[in-house]
A and B are shown apart, each in its own frame.
Chain A
Amino acid sequence: MSTLLFFLAGFGAIAGAVGVVMLRDPFFAVLALVAHLLSLAILFLLLRAEFVAAVQVVVYAGAVMVLYVFVVAYVGGREEPIGDLLRGRGPAGAQLRLGAAILGGALLVELLIALLGTGLKAVGGDGAPYAPGPKAFGTPAYIGQLLLTRFLLVFEVASLLLLIAAVGAVVLARRRGGIDEDGEGDARRVLTPLDLIRPRETGTMAEGVGGVPFALARARERNDGGDGESAADGTSARERGSTADGRARDDEPVGATAGPGTSEQEGGW
Chain B
Amino acid sequence: MAIGWYLAVSAIVFSLGAAGVMVRRNPLVVLLCLELMLNGANLALVAFSRMWGNGDGQVFALIVMTVAACEVCIGLGLVVAIHRRKLPIDVDELRELQG
A78 CA to B79 CA, complexed, in Å: 13
In contact, B59 and A147 (Cβ under 8 angstroms): yes
Interface residues of B in 5-41 (CB under 8 A from A): 5-20, 22-26, 28-29, 31-33, 35-36, 39
Interface residues of B in 45-66 (CB under 8 A from A): 46-47, 49-56, 58-59, 61-63, 65-66
Given A17-B12, A60-B65, 6 extra CB contacts under 8 A: A20-B16, A33-B32, A33-B36, A52-B58, A64-B72, A115-B7
| A256 part of interface (Cβ distance < 8 Å) | no
A18 CA to B15 CA, complexed, in Å: 10
Which stretch from A121-129, A197-205, A219-227 is at the chain B interface? A121-129
| A190 part of interface (Cβ distance < 8 Å) | no
Chain B positions within 8 Å of A, measured between CB atoms, are 1-20, 22-26, 28-29, 31-33, 35-36, 39, 42-44, 46-47, 49-56, 58-59, 61-63, 65-74, 76-81, 83-85, 89-90, 92, 99
In contact, A124 and B4 (Cβ under 8 angstroms): yes
Interface residues of A in 44-82 (CB under 8 A from B): 44, 46-49, 51-52, 55-56, 59-60, 63-64, 67-68, 71-72, 74-75, 77-78, 80, 82
In contact, A130 and B81 (Cβ under 8 angstroms): no
A204 shortest CB reach to chain B, Å = 21
In contact, B33 and A20 (Cβ under 8 angstroms): yes
| A209 part of interface (Cβ distance < 8 Å) | no
B16 shortest CB reach to chain A, Å = 4
B57 shortest CB reach to chain A, Å = 9
In contact, A2 and B23 (Cβ under 8 angstroms): no
Known: A49-B46, A161-B66. A40 touches B39 (CB 8 A): yes
A-B CB pair tally, cutoff 8 Å: 258
User: In the complex, which of the residues B14, B51, B63 contacts A122, with contact meaning CB atoms closer than 8 Å?
Assistant: B51
B15 shortest CB reach to chain A, Å = 4
In contact, B77 and A169 (Cβ under 8 angstroms): yes
Which stretch from A96-104, A236-244, A247-255, A258-266 is at the chain B interface? A96-104
Interface size on A, residues (CB 8 A): 92
Could you list some 29 contacts between A and B, CB below 8 A? A13-B13, A20-B16, A29-B29, A33-B36, A43-B43, A43-B46, A60-B65, A63-B69, A71-B79, A72-B28, A75-B80, A85-B23, A85-B24, A92-B92, A101-B19, A103-B18, A104-B18, A104-B19, A108-B11, A111-B15, A112-B11, A116-B4, A128-B51, A128-B52, A143-B58, A165-B73, A173-B76, A173-B77, A181-B85
A 159-187 binary contact with B (CB < 8 Å = 1; else 0) = 00110111011011101001101110000
Residues of A within 8 A of B13 (CB): 13-14, 17, 36
A20 CA to B26 CA, complexed, in Å: 12
Residues of A within 8 A of B76 (CB): 67-68, 71, 169, 173
In contact, A74 and B83 (Cβ under 8 angstroms): yes
In contact, A14 and B18 (Cβ under 8 angstroms): no
A55 shortest CB reach to chain B, Å = 6
Residues of A within 8 A of B84 (CB): 175, 179
